[in-house]
Structure 1
Amino acid sequence: MGSSSGGKKKYINFRNRQRANMSFFIVVMFFAVFGIIIFTEIFLIDERGRGAGVLVRHGSLTYHHRPPARDYEDAFQSDDYISIHMGPMPNMDDTVGALLLGRPAVIPVVDDEPGPQSSKVLTETKLPPYPAHITPTNGSWQNVNGARYKFFVFSAFFDNRRGQRSVRIIGATKTRGPERVWCRMWYKTSENNATSFISRSVQAKIKVIRENWNLKYSACFLLCPLLANQTVPTTVSVVTKVKSFPTNLLTVINNYNDSMKPSNRFAVCIKPLHFDYNRALQILEFIELNRIMGVEHFTFYNHTIGPQVGCILQDYVDRGLVTLLPWQLNMLSQKEIRTEGLFAALNDCLYRSMNLYSHVLLIDLDEYIIPRNNETLPQLIEYLNNRFNSRTTGAYSFQNAFFYLQWGDDDSVYDSNDSVAAGLVTLKKTRRRSKLHPHKQRSKYICRPELVVEAGNHFVWEFIPGHGTMNVPSDAAILHHYRICEFGGDDCIKTPSTVDSTAFKYKNKLVDEVKEKYNEFKIKCNLMELPPPPRRVFSKIINMLKSGQKTVR
C-alpha cells in the first residue's frame, strides 16, 4: 500500500515538473517571437520607409496633445541639393548665382534606369529646359507624367514658418508607397524674356494627408526644401525623374509679409461643389449671412456647378469677394479618393488664406457657426479670448447641432408673405436635436491659418508645435447644421428636440440682403421665380406636435 502511494506521488511530481517546463518554454517562445517582431519593425520596415523618401503619418484624435511630428525637419535642408561653391551674391543663394553667371552647377543624380547606382554627374544646364509651352497656374490639377500610378499636383506655396523654408505643393497620389519625385524650381533670369529661366532641382518629400479612408489615392503634401539663403522660386514643376521633361507648371504663391499681419480678417473655405450644384437661394443665403457675421472672403472649388450658381459666383469673383478655382481631379470620388479629394481643397484654401486672413472657417454650405451672445464672428473670437486663456489657441472647435429638414417649418413661415424669407433655411428651420455632438465628432472649426500645418474636416490634425484647439462651450456658439437624417429615412426626427431661433437676430438684414441680390441676379443669371410661402394648412397639427417641448430664445 505504501509502495503504491509513493509511486503515485512520484508520478504527480513528474507531471508538475513537465507542466512547469512547458510553461517556461511557452514564455520563452513568446518573448522570442515578440523580439523578432520588434526587430523587424525597427530595422526593416523603418529602413524601407526611409529609403523611399516618404513619410505616411497616421494621426489620432489626441494627436496634437503631444508634441507633433514636425512637417519639415532640419535634416532635409541638405537633401539632394546641387553642390556648388562661389562668392556671395545679394538676395541669391550660391547655386542660383552660379547658374545666372553661366557657371556649371553640378547635382548628384541617381540613375533613373534600373540597375546599380550610376556615378554620372549632371549639371542643371543639361537637364530639360523650362516648359515654356505650359502656362503656369496658381491652382489647377496637372499631371505628373511618367508615374506608375495616378499623380497630380494642384498648387504651390512658400512656407517660411519657424524658419524652416520650403515650397509646399498640394497634390494627390497613391496612399501607400508614393513614388519618388523631384521638384524643378524655376528662377527667372530676365524680365524682358518670358522664357528665360534657370532651375534648381531637389528631391521632394511626400507626406500623405491623414484622412483618406485607406482608399487607393489620397491628398498629399510635397515639400521642396529651400536653403536658408535661397530665394523663393517663381514657379515649380514636379517630375518623376530629374531628366524627365516637365508636364506641369505651378506658380509659387508667396503671401508672406513679416511687416503686415492680418488682424480680424475672416475667410471661409468650402469643399468642392459637385453634382452640378445649382441652388441659387442657398448660395446667396450662405454668402450673405456669413458676410453679415463678419466674413470678408470665400474660396470655392468648381468640380461641377450649374449655370445659375456659376453666374452668381462669377459676379462675386468680379467684386473680389470670392475665389473660384477649377477642380477637375481625374480620380473616382469615394472609390479611388475621398469625396472629390476634399482634403486637398481644404488644405489648399488653408495655405492660400495664410498671411492674408487672421481666421479661416472650414465649413460646408449647410453649416453656420452662430454666436449666442455676439453679433459677429470677430466679436465672438474676442469674447472667447477674454473669457479663456487663448495664448496657445490655433483653432476654435464648435459642437454640431442637427436641424433636420424633415422637422416642420417655424410658425413664422406661415405668417409671411415674403417668398425670400420663407425660403431661407436658417429662418424656417428652428427645431434642432437637443443633444449636441461632442467635439471632434461632426464639429467644425475656425482656425488661425499661420498656426496650422494640416487641416482636417472636423478638426485640425497638426499644428505648429506649442498650439492646440479651444473647445468652445455651447453657451458661446454652436454649429447649426441643416440637413436630412444622416442615415436615411425619417427616424431622426424621433430624437429629443428643442426650438432654437438664435439665427432670428439676423432675420431683417439677411432677408433684405438676399432679396436685393436675388432680384439683381434674376435677369442676369436667369433665376427662377421663388415659390409662394406655404399656407397654414397643417399648422395646428404641427403646433400640437411641438407643444410641451423646450424652447431656446
Structure 2
Amino acid sequence: MREKSKISGGKFKHTCAYYPSILDLQFNNNFWQILRSSNGTFFLYGAYHDNRTAVQKPTIRILGMINRIEPKVKTHCLLWYDAARDPLLTPVVEYKYIWNKIWGNYKHGILQPYLMACYLPNPADLIAKKFKIDQIPVSVSLTEKGCEPPTNNLLINNKVPAEKKRFAVCVKGLDFLQVDLSVRLVEWIELLGLLGADKIFLYELEVHPNISRVLKYYQKMGRVDLTPISLPGDQPNLPGLRHLYLKSKIINKRQNELIPYNDCLYRNLNSYDYIALLDTDEVIMPREVSTWNELMERVLAKAPAGQPFASYNFRNVYFWDDAEHSRSLVASIPGHMHMLQHVYRSFNYTKSGQYVKCFHDVQKILLLHNHYPLACSKGKCTSYAVDPQTAHLQHYRSDCQLKKTNCQVEYKQHLVKDTTIWRYNQDLIPRVNAVLRNLGLL
C-alpha cells in the first residue's frame, strides 16, 4: 500500500480525500475495518473486482456486516488507483442482503451480512483522469459523505491466474478447539483430491494443534489455502468463549458463516469453473463414475439443454458413525479410515431441496448460502437436482440432530450398506497412511 507522503507532496491541490495511512484506519480486530455512519455501523471484511460477462457493469464489491436491516444510508466508494493522487468517487448502488428474514435475527442492532456494490468509472472518466481504460483500482474506502477522510481501506482482490481450474471446495470457519479430527481430516482431504478437487479453501477460527499441523502440511503442498478469520463487532473472539457463543447462538453462527463462503466465491471468480461449499464430514460422491469431472460431464448431458443452471444440487443422505450401525470393522481396512469403515447409511434421503450441497457455477452466482445460491447474475437462481442414482451427498454424522425428533424413525430404522467409497481403497489408504506417518499421527 502507498504512503500518504508519496502522493501528497508538491503544489498539487487535492480535490478529494488523502490516501489514508494505516494509523487513520479503524480496526475492529485483525480482520475487520469500520465505517461509523449516521445510521448504522459497517464492519468491512473484503473487497473484490467483478468483471464477469454476466454482470451489468464492471463492479467493485465490498463484503461485510452492518447492524441494520434494509440499510438506507447513502454511502460511497473511494477508488484508489496506483500512482494517482486523488481517488475516484462512485456511489454504492446496492446493498445485497445475504440472508432471508424468515430465518430469524431480522432486527436492528444484530449484525447482518451484506454485499455492497460500486460500479467502476466509465472509460471516458478514466481517460479524463489520464488513466488507462483497463486500469483497476488497488484498494477501496467506504465513506458516507463522499470525500470525507476514510476510516477504512480494503485491498481489492483481483486474482487472474494463467490457467483456470475446474473445482474448488470452500469450508467455513473451523471451530474445533478441543476435538482432534486430524486423522479424519487427512482422509477427507485425500478423498477430495482423488475425486478431483483442485484446491480446498478453509477458514480457521480455532483448531486443535494436530488439526493445525495437518492444515499447514497441506498448505505447504499447495493443496489447501488456509485463512484465519474472526467475528466482527462485539461478538467474542476469545477461543473458549467464542466456541460457547457459536454453539448457543445458532442463527448468529449461520449469519457469520456467510462471510467466508462469499469471500471464497469472490476471491476465486477467475480461478475455477465450480465451487462446492462442504463441511469436513461431507462428500459429494459420484455413484456411476469415479471423478467430479466425469460426474459433471454426465450431469450436463442429462440436464435440459439451454437451461442456464446456476448450481447443481445433490441430495443429502446420512452415514451413521455410532457403533450400533457401524457393525464390525472391516479387517482389510485400517481402523482409522473413518469413511471407509462406515458404509451403513439411511435408506431414506432427506427431502428434495433439504440439506443439499451444490456445485456452483462461478460465472452465474452473486450470493451464496450454505445449501444453495441466494442471488444470481441473471435474476432468479436455477438449480438442477442431480438424480441420487448418479451422485449424492454423503453426510457422516454421529447421531440425529437435536431438533429432528422424527430422525430415529425416518433415518435410522432402515439402513442399507453402501460401499461406493470402496472403489478408492487402493489409492486412498496408502495416501492417508503416508501423510499420517509423515506427521507422526500414526
Q: Quickly name the TM-score band, shorter chain normalised.
A: 0.7 to 0.9
Q: Trace 1:225-244 onto structure 2 (pairs within 5 A).
A: 225-229=119-123, 230=126, 231-242=135-146, 244=148
Separation in 1, partners of 2:46, 2:420: 39
Structure 2 alignment gaps of length 5 or more = 1-7, 127-134, 236-245
In 1, distance between residues paired with 2:327 and 2:70? 57
Which residue identity is paired with 1:170?
L
The alpha-carbon deviation at position 211 of structure 1 amounts to 4.2
Question: RMSD of the TM alignment (CA)?
Answer: 3.1
Shift of 1:243: 5.3
Q: Which residue of 2 aligns with 1:403?
A: 319
1:477: Cα distance to partner? 0.2
Alignment of 1:250 with 2:154, yes or no, is yes
- In 2 relative to 1, CA 149–175 (structure 1 residues): closer, same or farther, beyond 3 Å? closer
**Residues 1:321 and 2:218 are matched in the alignment:** no
Whether the 8 Å contact between 1:408 and 1:429 is mirrored in structure 2 is: no
Deviation at 1:405, TM superposition (A): 1.9
**Is residue 2:359 matched to residue 1:446?**
yes
Aligned to 1:96: none
- State the TM-score, normalizing by the size of structure 2: 0.80
In structure 2, the residue matched to 1:471 is 385
Letter in structure 2 aligned against 1:250? L
CA distance in structure 1 between the partners assigned to 2:11 and 2:364 by the alignment: 41
Give 2:95's aligned residue. Answer: 206
**Partner Cα separation in structure 2 for residue 184 and residue 168 of structure 1:** 12
2:130 alignment partner in structure 1: none
1:97-119 deviation digits (Å, cap 9, x = unpaired): xx9998868xxxxxxxxxxxxxx
Change in CA separation of 1:256 and 1:517 when aligned onto 2, cut-off 3 Å: closer
Answer 1 or 2: which has greater strand percent.
2
The alpha-carbon distance between structure 1 residues 456 and 311, as it changes in their structure 2 partners (threshold 3 A), is same
Counterpart selection for 1:498 from 395, 416, 435: 416
**Residue 281 of structure 1 aligns to a residue in which SS?**
helix
The correspondence for 1:362, drawn from 277, 296, 299, is: 277
Secondary structure (helix, strand or coil) at the match of 1:413 reads: coil
Q: Which amino acid aligns with 2:268?
A: S
Q: 1:293: Cα distance to partner?
A: 0.4
Deviations 1:432-486 (A, max 9, x none): 1111123321110011111111111111122221762111001100000011211
- 1:433 aligned onto 2:355: no
CA distance in 2, matches of 1:346, 1:434: 31
Q: Deviations over 1:117-171 (max 9, x none)?
A: xxxxxx31xx243325489x9x973221434655311111111133511101111
State the distance in 2 between where 1:211 and 1:281 align: 36
- Residues 514 and 452 from structure 1, CA distance in 2 versus in 1: closer, same or farther, beyond 3 angstroms? same
In structure 2, the residue matched to 1:181 is 75
1:318-361 superposed Cα distances (whole Å, 9 cap, x missing partner): 22221111211235443783337111111111111211011111
Which whole-Å CA distance do the structure 1 matches of 2:264 and 2:97 have between them? 17
Over residues 509-549 of structure 1, what are the superposed CA-to-partner deviations in whole Å (9 max), with x where a residue is unaligned? 11111111011111xxxx4x5xxxxxxxxxxxxxxxxxxxx
**Residues of 2 paired with 1:303 and 1:354: CA distance?**
24
- Residues 174 and 353 of structure 1, relative CA distance in 2, 3 Å threshold: same
Report the Cα offset of residue 414 of structure 1: 4.6
CA distance in 2, matches of 1:520, 1:253: 35
State which drifts further: 207-216 or 452-461. Answer: 207-216
**Moved segments of 4+, more than 6 Å:** 99-105
Identity of aligned residues (%): 24
5+ residue gaps in structure 1?
Answer: 1-98, 106-122, 190-195, 530-553
What does 1:60-209 align with in structure 2 at a 5 Å threshold? 123-124=15-16, 127-133=17-23, 141-147=31-37, 149-161=40-52, 162=54, 163-178=56-71, 179-189=73-83, 197-204=85-92, 205-209=94-98
C-alpha contact 2:346 2:412 (8 A) present in aligned 1: no
Q: Which residue in the other structure is 2:171 paired with?
A: 270
- State the alpha-carbon separation in 2 of the partners of residues 102 and 440 from structure 1: 63
CA distance in 2, matches of 1:234, 1:246: 15
- Partner AA of 1:395 in structure 2: S
> What amino acid maps onto 1:308 in structure 2?
N
Amino acid at match of 1:143: Q
| Distance across 1 between alignment mates of 2:86 and 2:114 | 27
> Per chain length, whose mean CA-contact separation is higher, i.e. which structure has more relative contact order (CA < 8 Å, sep 6+)?
2
**What's the secondary structure of 1:373's corresponding residue?**
coil
SS state at 1:393 partner: coil
Larger Rg: 1
- State the distance in 1 between where 2:10 and 2:304 align: 54
* Alpha-carbon distance between aligned partners in 1 of 2:313 and 2:251, rounded to the nearest angstrom: 30
Q: What is the aligned counterpart of 1:460 among 370, 373, 394?
A: 373
CA distance 1:261–1:317, shift in 2 (3 Å): closer
Note if 1:387 corresponds to 2:302.
yes
- Measured after TM superposition, the shift of residue 261 of structure 1 is 6.9
